[in-house]
Amino acid sequence: MREQGGRQLNVSGVLRHLGVSRSGYNTWKNRIPSNREQRKNKIKDKICDIYDESHQNYGAPKIAKKLKEEGETISEKTVGNYMREMGLKAQWIKPYTITTIDSDFST
């Protein structure tokens, strides 16, 4: 591990500073992901694919609708939370507003 300043950190020192045992760290590092975590990662991949297909325009409601069409059981709120975790945000296009004044000032 290398710190930004160029100083090299050793794992033992970091674990001691955090108060974590080496065996606990190794157990955590080698842990097999749970079914829930695997499903979450699979859905996150699908959300990214749909988001990119829409040219980053779709938000949680449309993505949730697409996922439901594909057979996934998921709520709009969950899709929104996953998008927030991944840093995805739908583009909001400001509605066009007329700002010029008619050149005929007689009315």
How far is Cα 11 from Cα 60, in angstroms, rounded to an integer?
40
Domain extents in the chain:
1-31, 35-86
The three-state secondary structure class of 39 is helix
- pLDDT, residue 4, reads 63
How far is Cα 36 from Cα 39, in angstroms, rounded to an integer?
5
> Which residue has 């325009």 as its token pair?
57
pLDDT digits (tens, 9 = 90+) for 45-84: 999 999 999 999 999 999 999 999 999 999 999 999 999 9
- pLDDT, residue 59, reads 94
> Which residue has 């859905």 as its token pair?
43
Task: Give 97's DSSP letter.
Answer: -
